[in-house]
A and B are shown apart, each in its own frame.
Chain A
Amino acid sequence: MSGRPSRWLTAFTALTYVFLFAPIVILIVFSFNDSRRSFTWQGFTLEWYQRLLRDTEMIGSLKVTLEVAAIAVVGATILGSLLGLGLARLRFRGSGAVQTLLLLPIMTPEIIMGISLLVFFSQLFGLNGSIGQIALAHITFCISYVAITVRARAASLDPRLEEAARDLGASAVGAFRHVTLPLLAPAIAAGAMLAFALSFDDLVVTSFNTGVGSTTLPVQIYSAIRFGVTPSVNAISTIIVAVVSIALLIAWRLGAFRTAARAVIADPEVA
């Protein structure tokens, strides 16, 4: 069924991965560069890693970032997936308005969204920023990404599949769980990955919602550029890449991907 890929397509894909990882390789290399600011190689050093271990602010902000991302991904994925599925499946009055509503957060300039939430939380609730507040902000702009991604997939799902399951005796929830959800799983996972990347790297909206002691990594890094980002930032990024890569390697060895892929591959019977 899957023929051989054309050589050009494979080469193109490989080249794209090179494109994606080129800056990463550079940043890893420069995390060992014996110079604070220079873009040329000056020698090998582990100084930045040593500094990183002592940099409680940076490590603290990484923790905050991960906490926020965890909450934001869960919240946005659940709300966004439901929203995406609902929009794709059902016709209801006001679905056009909801679709437009989905587009609005993506269209809003980040500084306006950031300031609006700052005003909202501080003036209406007297809150001065916190991990929770950042997470709430992140969920708000991530929902759209998840919803649009899930909807793209849900739109091509045959509603009769679920109907058939119902005919065969499944409850509404059961049909949803055993038929729709698995078919949507890749879109939901994709949405979750997008949400994670968005949350992890967000700067502007986050900077207006941080509180005392709850700075995120991007805000911390950006605050550092005025007087000089040291390669400690490269070091922490390298460590993140390393940790994720190792986790992926372990998962791969354990066959986790094979199981996931089986769920992802379009079921040939449904054709």
Chain B
Amino acid sequence: MSERNLPGLSFNEALDQKLAQANWSRREFLGRVAAFGAAAALTQLLIACGQAGGSPSAAAPTPTPQGTTTAEATAPPAPTPVPTPEDKLFVYNWDAYIGEDTVAKFQDKYNIEVTYDNFPDEATQIGKLQSDGKGGGYDVSYPASTWVPSFIQDGLVQKIDHSLIPNLKNLNALWQNPDYDPGNAYSVPNFWWTTGYAWDPRDIPGDLTSWAELWDPSRKNKMSMLDDLRECFAAGAFRLNLSPNTTDLGELDQILALLEQQKPLLRFYTATDQITDMVNQVVEMAHCWSGDWVQMTYDKPRFKYVIPSEGSIKGNDVMIITAGAEHPIAAHLWIDFNLDPEISAASTNYIGYMGPNDAALPLIDDYIKTDPRLNPPQEVLNELIELKYLAPADLAQYTDRWNKLQA
């Protein structure tokens, strides 16, 4: 896990040093800048430096003999009487999208039997959750945040009882009130990611920064793009200085034309094989998500990743409790457990995706949290755009063009 391209500017170096001393990530710092203004943030930073190194976060709540939650131990002043959890929990999540031991630790701690099912793609996940209108039999799932508004409207998710999730306070301030779900009433942010592309510096030397690199004819048959229509259209949109959420038909046609120029140069479109194919040198450059790049580096540490300068996508997913959940108490415990700093950090360290959990930051591996590509600096953060949920009529315009592109 060597070779990280930290920018070489002196301001950045100095800032990094300070941040390292305070045990903050850039993201955390910039979060505070955004929230409180530069001066206040700098002051806080210097104070934190004074407390050299920062202290490890509060220990995880320990179970009481009855196995009930220990909200009392970690501090909200008025301990509410907590109901006894059920003895089972049904979770529906991506595979390997959680710490290696998280499920086992949860089961040990609370004596709740967890059935942890996976799905192969989002269409299956959403189809299952929506099938009976209340969650398809599962208690907890992890949809992308863009689904939350429509889930709320459809009554597919239930309100989250914040009193059962004391660890919510661990969330970074920016994530306490997202616009897809004000106040996190129905969802709790899970992990977030950026989109960019990775490449093999042995085949492609130099520092790449633009989306245009994926259109370079000299790399014919050596590149791949994500098999994701929104992501591909976003890449095209950024190159043309358009919004990746555009619904203007003229703009969509422009993007389509650009993508059609690219298609003959591509080896394939994939949303699942980009890691394997890069590692095995089937392609030299791959459009991918930030976590994919981290996974690639486990095998090939030399690979590089960039969030392109024209702009890119950020996204996050959330934990929700379904309306039809048969084990709601256990579900709340699960969410609380996953927000625990150690558990959250273990997950991030294992899968390479950052979470919005401030308390977990000190425990996250350096190479993840100090990396501006996984934890981008202010100017890039500002430009990162979320893919908004598109109304069906608009999405249809995208789908048609995507199908015409692929046909």
A and B touch in the complex (CB under 8 A): yes
**Which A positions have Cβ atoms within 8 angstroms of B?**
35-40, 57, 115, 118-119, 122-123, 126, 128-129, 203, 207-208, 210-213, 215, 219-220, 222-229
Please tell me if the beta carbons of B276 and A226 are within 8 angstroms of each other in the complex.
no
Q: Which residues of B66-118 are within 8 A (CB) of A?
A: 90, 94-97, 115-118
Compute how far the CA of A57 lies from the CA of B136 in the bound complex, rounded to whole angstroms.
20
Contacting pair A118 B131 (CB below 8 A): yes
Q: A227-B97, A228-B96 are in contact. Are A208 and B279 (CB under 8 A)?
A: no
**Cα separation A210 to B120 with both chains bound (whole Å):** 12
Instruction: Chain A residues near B124: list those with CB within 8 A.
Output: 207-208
B137 adjacent to chain A (CB < 8 Å):
yes
Would A36 and B299 be within 8 Å (CB), given that A128-B131, A207-B119 are in contact?
yes
Closest 7 CB pairs of A and B: A223-B118, A128-B137, A227-B96, A222-B120, A122-B131, A223-B95, A213-B115
Residues in A neighbouring B121, C-beta threshold 8 A = 226
Report the minimum CB–CB distance from A240 to chain B (whole Å). 20
A210 touches B117 (CB 8 A): yes
- The count of A-to-B residue pairs whose CB atoms sit within 8 angstroms is 90
Apart from A223-B95, A225-B120, A227-B96, 19 more pairs, CB < 8 Å: A38-B280, A115-B127, A118-B128, A118-B131, A122-B131, A122-B132, A128-B136, A128-B137, A129-B136, A207-B120, A207-B124, A208-B127, A210-B117, A210-B128, A212-B138, A225-B272, A226-B94, A227-B275, A228-B275
The reply on B273 being an interface residue by CB < 8 A is yes
- In the complex, which residues of chain B have a beta carbon less than 8 angstroms from the beta carbon of A203? 120
Residues of chain B in range 267-290 having any CB-CB distance to chain A below 8 Å: 271-273, 275-276, 279-280
Could you say which of B116, B127, B136, B276 contacts A228, with CB atoms under 8 Å apart?
B276
Residues of A within 8 A of B272 (CB): 225-226
Q: B298 an interface residue at 8 Å Cβ cutoff?
A: yes
Chain B positions within 8 Å of A229 at CB level: 276
B289 to chain A, nearest CB (A): 10
CA distance A232 to B132 in the complex (A): 34
Complex CA–CA separation, A228 to B294 (angstroms): 12
Contact (A224, B118) CB under 8 Å given A119-B131, A122-B131, A128-B136: yes
Closest residue of A by beta carbon distance from B97? A227
Complex CA–CA separation, A173 to B150 (angstroms): 60
Q: A37-B299, A223-B118, A226-B272 are in contact. Are A126 and B132 (CB under 8 A)?
A: yes
Contact of B276 with A37 in the complex, beta carbons under 8 Å: yes
| Shortest Cβ gap from B298 to chain A (Å) | 7
Contact B132 A223 (CB under 8 A): no
Decide yes or no whether B351 CB sits under 8 A from chain A: yes
Contact B131–A228 (Cβ < 8 Å): no
How far is B91's CA from A212's CA once the two chains are assembled, in angstroms? Answer: 9
Query: Quick one: closest A residue to B137, CB to CB?
Result: A128
Q: How far is the CB of A54 from chain B (nearest CB, A)?
A: 10
Within the complex, what minimum Cβ distance (angstroms) separates A1 from chain B? 52
Q: Does B146 count as interface, using CB distance less than 8 angstroms?
A: no
Residues of A within 8 A of B351 (CB): 227
**Residues on B with beta carbons closer than 8 Å to the beta carbon of A211:** 137
Q: In the complex, which of the residues A213, A226, A229 has the most CB atoms of chain B within 10 Å of its own CB atom?
A: A226
Q: State the Cβ distance, A206 to closest chain B Cβ, in Å.
A: 10
Cβ of B245 < 8 Å from any Cβ of A?
no
Distance of B285 from chain A, by nearest CB (Å):
18
List chain B residues, Cβ under 8 A from A129: 128, 136-137
- Report A-chain residues with C-beta under 8 Å of the C-beta of B95: 220, 223-224, 226-227
